[in-house]
Structures are given as C-alpha cells and as structure tokens.
Amino acid sequence: MRAQGLVPFALAGWLLGLVLPAGALGPAQPSGLPTEIPGSLARADLAARILPVATGLAVHDPTIVREGATYYRFSTGLGVSQARSDDLLHWSLLPPAFTNLPAWVAAAVPQAKDVWAPEVVWRAGVYWMYYSVSSFGGNKSAIGLATARTLDPESPEYGWADHGPVLQSKAGDDFNAIDANAVTDREGGLWLVYGSFWGGIKMRKLDPVSGKLDTRDQAARHLAQRPIPPDAIEGAYILPHGDRYYLFVSFDFCCKGRFSTYKIAVGRAAAIAGPYVDQAGLPMLQGGGTILRSGDASAAGMGHNSILQDEGRSLIVYHAYDLKYGGQARLRIEELLWDDQGWPLMASELLSRSGATKR
C-alpha cells in the first residue's frame, strides 16, 4: 500500500554491538545479501534478533511509537487501526484514531473507505500523524495530517485533531499521494517522503511549524523508481544512520495474501535528497535496490516497513502474509544488523536463505 516467550533484553543489548568483520559476506550476490549465514554469526544469535510477536492481530503497513513505557502500533484500517503493548510482543487493540473519516475526504477522495499507512512522529510537543486516503489501484489520493497531545486513549488530553490535506494527487499526475514518511535531516529540516507505483518515490519539504508543505520550496525531489511497468515500488522510509541516509522501499505487490510478492529493498545516499544507490552501485532511480527481506516457506509478501529507534536499538517493523494463518497479514519486528560496509541486514532473511527459518 502494507514461539512464546520474551527475548532477554540483556542478550538483545549484547547483540547490538555485533558488527560483521571485513570479508564475512564474501563476494557480493546479485541482491547484495549472502546465501549462507556468515561464519561469525551463530543461528541462535540471529534468531535472538527476531522478536517473537505473540498476538495474532491482522496488520497492514505498521508503524510503532513509544510514549513512556508503552508502545503504540498504528496501521491501515477503518479510522486508523491502533494497538498498544508493554513489551512489543503482546498487543491489545484500541479504538481507531478516527470514528469517521475526516470531513474533507468525501470531496477529495470520494472512493476512500478507510485510512492507509499512518506515520506518527513526535515534534514540537505533539504527535503528528500523516495518513493516506485513496482507492485501490488509482492515484486519486491524498495525505492528511492530524495531531494529538498524547497517544494514551485513557488520558483526558487524548484526541486526534485533524488539520486537513497536506498533498493530493489525481488521475494524470505522475505520482500517487500515499505512504507518507516524515523524516528530519541532520540540519533539522523536515521532509515528506511519499509515492506508490506511477513515478515512484518522491519527497517534498515541509514547514516545521504547520507540518504542511513548505510554500517557499515547492520542488519535488525524485528518489527512486522502477522504470519498467508496472513500476511496482511504494512504502518508502528514510533512516539516517552514521553519515548516510538509507531509503527503504517495498518492491512488487502486497494485498494478495499467500500470493503477495512484496519484498523490502534498500539503498543509501550521502544527502537526504540522494542520489540513492544499492549495494551494487545501481541508482534507485534506475530500479536499483538491495533486497533485505523476501518471502520464504513461512510467509509471503514481506513489506511496508518502518523503523522504531528504541533504547539504542533500530527495530524494523513490517508486515508479512503468514502461511500458518492462511496468508493473513501479521506484525513482524526484528533488530537490524549492520555489516562493516555500513549496509543493513535482516536476521530473518539470512536464516531463510540458509534454510533455517525462525518461524
């Protein structure tokens, strides 16, 4: 669009210091990932990176935010699906963020029935939620903005105030205004990353006070594209890490259950506006992207990820169509590994490629 028990956090913290030694990956594969687990990593070490999420809630396009000691998960659904957890493993559903679609949606995108791919960030003393409304398969779409003082629905201060549309697209445009990601660059500038199929992934400058588009800088930066039809790329997320920016995207098709072909890919750049290239040096504007996670014997359609920075950990949050549950989309969370060249790796993919899947 998008085993029981708690992993000991002492072990998880130890694993954070793990960096693959030079040469551990061997010759670069076409996807940029090894076909065998590097000798420096034990299967148990990799498995401990994957959080055993226990609650079987259907989830598309998830993102997670922590407020105090509580984690809040937001995802596609009627009025924005919400859930909370104390440990990232056991989740309980909350009422949706919106009782009804915001009033402006009926005129802007009359086909919209629910809210897609919410992005929640903390900025200037409030939570900002960017959300998408659209109709499946078309680009008459819009990204809206709402704010809240707290995520706790039991607080007297709770409640999402809608601020209307931020960006809209229509038939004939070369972009699709969905799948918002709000990212702050190293100079403090705020950006909106968006796009699905059509012209690929683009980015606009945001006003740091209103959260709407910057009226002085109206240029759309083009970050990534699959130039061969059907241009299947969406779900972008930019992570600043080290001295680079990492652009995560989803290739191919979601929302087909066990037949979904979603996969997570990544490229990186020295500047937030790019140019982004994959591990083989292929520009993402030319279809490049190192595959981080693809389907395996346990699930199909891994994709639409976000990143949760939590106590020094970078946790990648995504959905997968779990074959054990008839292809239902389920929440998955794991810590990112980084090789000595500064490229991210996912333990679940390494295990899958070695024939030792976690699930």
- Give me the domains of the chain, ranges plus CATH numbers: 9-353 (2.115.10.20)
Q: What are phi and psi of 106, to 5 degrees?
A: -55, -40
Whether the bond between 227 and the residue before it is cis, its omega within 30 degrees of 0, is: no
pLDDT tens for residues 15-56?
Answer: 333 333 333 333 233 345 554 555 555 677 888 899 999 876
Q: Mention every residue, 6+ apart, whose C-beta is less than 8 A from residue 21.
A: 40, 340
The pLDDT, as a whole number, for residue 46 is 86
- Distance in angstroms (rounded) separating the CA atoms of residues 305 and 344: 14
Lowest-confidence pick of 37-41, 253-257, 310-314, 340-344: 37-41
Q: Strands, DSSP E only, in 252-357?
A: 263-269, 290-293, 299-310, 313-322, 328-338, 344-346
How many C-beta atoms surround the C-beta of residue 315 within 10 A? 20
pLDDT at residue 30, as a whole number: 35
Distance CA 279, CA 299 (A): 25
The lowest-confidence range among 57-61, 107-111, 354-358 is 354-358
Higher pLDDT, 188 or 57: 188
CB 35: neighbour CB atoms within 10 A? 10
Q: CA neighbours within 13 Å on the CB side: how many for 310?
A: 26
Residue 353 is predicted with a pLDDT of 81
- Check whether 344 has a pLDDT greater than 90: yes
The pLDDT mean for the chain works out to 87
Place of tokens 């897609």: 116
pLDDT, position 14: 29
Residue type, 151: L
CB 32 within 8 A of CB 290: yes
Tell me the two tokens of residue 48.
């401990």
Single-letter code of the amino acid located at 166: V
Least Cα distance to 63 among 113, 132, 14 occurs for: 132
Query: For residue 251, is pLDDT > 70?
Result: yes
Residue 335: is it exposed, middle or buried by C-beta count within 10 angstroms (0-12/13-18/19+)?
buried
Query: Residue 58 pLDDT more than 60?
Result: yes
Residues 38 and 27: their CA atoms lie apart, in Å, by: 12
Each residue's pLDDT tens digit, 157-216: 999 999 999 999 999 999 999 999 999 999 999 999 999 999 999 999 999 999 999 999
pLDDT of residue 52: 92
Q: What is the pTM of this model?
A: 0.88
Nearest CA to 116 out of 83, 64, 80, 160 is that of 80
Alpha-carbon distances of 32 from 127, 213, 223, 225, rounded to whole Å: 36, 36, 20, 19
pLDDT for residue 244 is more than 90 = yes
Give the mean pLDDT of 277-284. Answer: 97
Mean pLDDT of 86-109: 95
Tell me which residues are annotated as active site: 61, 234
Beta bridge partner(s), residue 241: 244
Q: Average pLDDT of 326-331?
A: 93
